[in-house]
Chain A
Amino acid sequence: MSPEEILCVNNLKQHFHINKDLTIKAVDGVTFQVKKGEVFGLVGETGSGKSTVAQTIMGIYPATSGEVYFKGRRISEKEIYRQNKKDLHLNMQIIFQDSAAALNPRMTVEQIITEPLKVNRIMRNKNELRDKLESLLFEVGLDDTYATKRPAEISGGQRQRVAIARCLSTSPDLIIADEPVASLDVSIQAQIINLFQRLQRYYGFSFLLIAHDLSIIKFISDKVAVMLQGRLMELAPTQELFNNPLHPYTRSLLSAVPVPDPVFERNKKILDYDVKDVKTQGEMVEVSFGHYVLQ
Chain B
Amino acid sequence: MAEPVLQLNNLSVSFDTSSGEVEAVRDISLSLNKGEILAVVGESGCGKTVMSQSVLKLLPKTSRIKQGRIIVDGEDITDYTEKQMRRLRGSVLSMVFQDPMTTLNPTIPIGKQITESISKHTRVSREQARQRALEMLNLVGIENPEQMFALQPHFFSGGMRQRCVLAIALASNPKVLFADEATTALDVTVQAKIIDLLLDIRDKSGISIVFISHDFGTVARIADRVAVMYAGKIVEIGTAEEVYYDPRHPYVWGLMSALPSLTKEGEDLTSISGMPPVMLNPPLGDAFAVRNEFALAIDYEEMPPMFQISPTHSAATWLLDERAPKITSPISLQRRTEV
Which residues of A does B touch, CB under 8 Å?
45-46, 155, 157, 185-191, 193-194, 197, 212-216, 218-219, 252-253, 256-266, 268, 270, 273
B262 to chain A, nearest CB (A): 7
Shortest beta-carbon distance from B255 to chain A in Å? 6
Q: For the A-B complex with A185-B276, A186-B215 known, give 18 more contacts whose Cβ atoms are closer than 8 Å.
A: A185-B43, A185-B44, A186-B258, A187-B258, A190-B272, A194-B271, A212-B187, A215-B217, A252-B189, A256-B192, A258-B220, A258-B221, A259-B220, A261-B336, A262-B220, A262-B223, A262-B240, A263-B241
Point out the residue from B158, B188, B216, B258 that lies within 8 Å of A190, measured CB to CB: B258
Q: Could you tell me the distance between the alpha carbons of A197 and B260 in the complex, rounded to whole angstroms? A: 13
Given the complex of chains A and B, what is the CA–CA distance between A273 and B244 in angstroms?
30
Report Cα–Cα, A259/B221, bound state, in Å.
8
User: Which residue on chain B has the smallest CB distance to residue A268?
Assistant: B221
Interface residues of B (CB under 8 A from A): 43-44, 158, 187-193, 196, 214-221, 223, 240-241, 244, 254-256, 258-263, 265, 268-272, 275-276, 336
B143, chain A: closest CB distance, angstroms: 12
Report yes or no: A45 in contact with B187, Cβ–Cβ below 8 A: yes
CB contacts (< 8 Å) of B221 on chain A: these are 258, 262, 265-266, 268
Complex-state Cα separation, A46 to B268, whole angstroms: 28
- CB pair A187–B255 under 8 Å, yes or no, is yes
Please, which residues of chain A bring their CB within 8 A of the CB of B223?
A: 262
Distance A212 CA – B254 CA, assembled complex (angstroms):
23
Known: A46-B187, A253-B188. A260 touches B261 (CB 8 A): yes
Interface pairs (26), CB distance under 8 Å? A45-B187, A185-B43, A185-B276, A186-B259, A187-B254, A187-B272, A189-B258, A190-B269, A193-B260, A212-B188, A215-B259, A215-B261, A216-B260, A253-B188, A253-B189, A257-B188, A257-B217, A258-B218, A260-B217, A260-B219, A260-B220, A260-B262, A262-B220, A262-B240, A265-B217, A266-B220
Chain A residues near B269 (CB-CB < 8 A): 190, 193-194, 219
B260 and A45 contacting across the interface, CB-CB below 8 Å? no
Q: Is the CB of A258 within 8 A of B271?
A: no
Chain B residue with minimal CB distance to A261? Answer: B220
A189 to B269, CA, bound (A): 9
Q: Which residue in chain A gives the minimum CB-CB distance to B213?
A: A258
Complex contact B263–A219 (CB within 8 A): yes
- Is the Cβ of B192 less than 8 Å from the Cβ of A258? yes
Give Cα A257 to B221, complex, Å: 11
Q: How far is the CB of A210 from chain B (nearest CB, A)?
A: 14
Q: How far is the CA of A212 from the CA of B189 in the complex (A)?
A: 11
- Residues of chain A lying within 8 A (CB to CB) of residue B258: 186-187, 189-190
In the complex, A233 Cα to B304 Cα: how many Å? 52
Known contacts A212-B187, A252-B189; is A262 also within 8 Å of B272 by CB?
no
Minimum CB–CB distance for A269 against chain B, Å = 10
A218 to B193, CA, bound (A): 23
Q: Which residues of A contact B189 (CB under 8 A)?
A: 45, 252-253, 256, 270, 273
B270 and A270 form a contact (CB under 8 A): no
Residues of B within 8 A of A215 (CB): 217, 259-261
* B192, B255, B260: the one within 8 Å of A219 (CB): B260
Give the residue of A190, A257, A265 whose beta carbon is less than 8 angstroms from that of B270: A190
A60 and B193 alpha carbons, distance in the complex (Å): 35
Contacts of A252 in B (CB 8 A): 189
Q: Are A186 and B43 in contact (CB under 8 A)?
A: yes
Per a CB cutoff under 8 Å, which of B43, B196, B262, B268 touches A194? B268
Contact B215 A262, beta carbon cutoff 8 Å:
no
Q: Roughly how many angstroms separate A185 CA and B217 CA in the complex, as a whole number? A: 14
Docked-complex contact B268 and A214, CB < 8 angstroms: no
Q: What's the nearest-Cβ distance from chain A to residue B6, in Å?
A: 22
Once bound together, how far apart are the Cα atoms of A193 and B255, in whole Å? 15
User: What residues on A are CB-neighbors of B218 within 8 Å?
Assistant: 258
